[in-house]
Amino acid sequence: MAVQDYFLPKSLDQALDLLVEHGPSLLVMAGGTIAMPLINDGVSMPEKVMGLRHAGLNTIRRDNGTLVIGATATLTQLGQQDYIPMLQEAVRHIGGWQIRNMGTVGGNLFAPPPAGDLAVALLALDATVTLASKKRGLRTILLQEFFTGFMTTALAPDELVTEVRVPLPRGKTGYVKYARKHANTPAIVTVATHIVTEGNKVVDARLALNAVGPHPIRAQRAEKLLVGLPLNAENISLAAKEAAAECDPSTDAIATDWYRRRMTEVFVRRVLEHLVEQE
Ligand SMILES: Cc1cc2nc3c(=O)[nH]c(=O)nc-3n(C[C@H](O)[C@H](O)[C@H](O)COP(=O)(O)OP(=O)(O)OC[C@H]3O[C@@H](n4cnc5c(N)ncnc54)[C@H](O)[C@@H]3O)c2cc1C
């Protein structure tokens, strides 16, 4: 069965109306870089598709201490802001420029691992996600609560992601995507961190990992281990080991679970060491 209807709503309101009218049989598409290959391969055979590109959700603005990113802002657009350099760094590591020109920030939240290279940076920055439905209006949840399992999220069938809000970082940030090639390649592990120190002690730590779990995850035991301690070689090494112990990698064509876990330790250590070198 080929696509019978293609809808291109001109506002969020129209998009939500269409969702109510057509229900789950309506495939939502933003940049289409995940959805279209599945249609081309016949893996997904939707009768109805709704494109979000004209729904007015693509602005990026600064609102006091928060960067507000519309769900359909492209990765290229995000790479052009300079309020949060870690997000620019994350974008640079996603696909090639064609993918970044089409792929969206909202779409990256639905990308199955090892994709999700932007989502992991957003997780380390304590981003929130705003969801809209016709019946219940808007609700905002932590990105951490948005991810519920492998290819499952807290999004209800009648909801759309409208924006991602990112508090401007108070501390130092670090990001590394380790892969088999330097560019346009899936991750073996991606590490994103945000560390706040006072004096010589860590007062707040975020350590997020991608490609080593069912979705981008926080290494919360490693984070807790760092808080209250100096960011020195000994504590970094303990946190890196803990992060490797608490991740949950799988084996695929890119790497084994053993190798992913091992590289998690190596790259968490390197990212944290790099933060110390910046001091
Ligand atoms: C060659 C290639 C290389 C890639 N490389 C990388 C990479 O290195 N790193 C990486 O992280 N990803 C990579 N990707 C995956 C993908 O391109 C990105 O994750 C991109 O951000 C997805 O966004 P999109 O708008 O194209 O998603 P779409 O395909 O438009 O959307 C995917 C699904 O997400 C849901 N969705 C999207 N937006 C919304 C919304 N606003 N509300 C509700 N649901 C929504 C829908 O269910 C939709 O079907 C690659 C893809 C390709 C084809």
Q: What is the pLDDT of residue 13?
A: 98
Average pLDDT, stretch 3-28? Answer: 95
Confidence grade of residue 168 (pLDDT, cut at 50, 70, 90): very high
CA 106 to centroid of ligand 1, rounded, Å: 8
Domain 5-51 has CATH 3.40.50.300: no
Q: Which of 138, 128, 129 is nearest to 158 (CA)?
A: 138
CA angle 269, 171, 85 (to 5 degrees): 85
| Nearest atom within ligand 1 for CA of residue 36 | 29
What are the tens digits of pLDDT across the range 31-86? 999 999 999 998 999 999 999 999 999 999 999 999 999 999 999 999 999 999 99
Distance between CA atoms of 76 and 82, rounded to whole angstroms? 12
Superfamily (CATH) of domain 172-277 = CO dehydrogenase flavoprotein, C-terminal domain (3.30.390.50)
Q: What is the pLDDT of residue 181?
A: 86
Write the secondary structure of the chain as one string of H (helix), E (strand) and C (coil): CCCCEEECCCCHHHHHHHHHHHHHHEEEECCCCCHHHHHHCCCCCCCEEEECCCCCCCCEEEECCEEEEECCCEHHHHHHCCCCHHHHHHHHCCCCHHHHHHCEHHHHCCCCCCCCCCHHHHHHCCCEEEEEECCCEEEEEEHHHHEEECCEECCCCCEEEEEEEEECCCCEEEEEEEECCCCCCCEEEEEEEEEEEECCEEEEEEEEEECCCCCCEECHHHHHHHCCCECCHHHHHHHHHHHHHHCCCCCCCCCCHHHHHHHHHHHHHHHHHHHHHCC
Confidence grade of residue 1 (pLDDT, cut at 50, 70, 90): low
Bridge partners, 172 (sequence order)? 195
Distance between CA atoms of 231 and 45, rounded to whole angstroms? 51
Mutation choice for ligand 1 from 8, 16, 34, 117, CB with most ligand atoms inside 8 A: 34
What are the tens digits of pLDDT across the range 77-113? 999 999 999 999 999 999 999 999 999 999 999 999 9
Distance between CA atoms of 23 and 17, rounded to whole angstroms? 10
What are the tens digits of pLDDT across the range 170-228? 999 999 999 998 888 999 999 999 999 999 999 999 999 999 999 999 999 999 999 99
Mutation choice for ligand 1 from 110, 117, 176, 189, CB with most ligand atoms inside 8 A: 110
Q: Where are the domains of the chain?
A: 5-51, 60-167, 172-277
What are the tens digits of pLDDT across the range 219-276? 999 999 999 999 999 999 999 999 999 999 999 999 999 999 999 999 999 999 999 9
Q: Which residues line ligand 1 (CB under 6 A)?
A: 27-35, 37, 52, 71, 75, 94-95, 99, 102-104, 106-108, 110-111, 115-118, 155, 160-161
Average pLDDT, stretch 8-23? Answer: 97
Q: What is the pLDDT of residue 96?
A: 95
pTM: 0.97
Tell me which CATH code domain 60-167 carries.
3.30.465.10
Which residue has its alpha carbon closest to ligand 1 atom 51? 33
Distance between CA atoms of 137 and 237, rounded to whole angstroms? 46
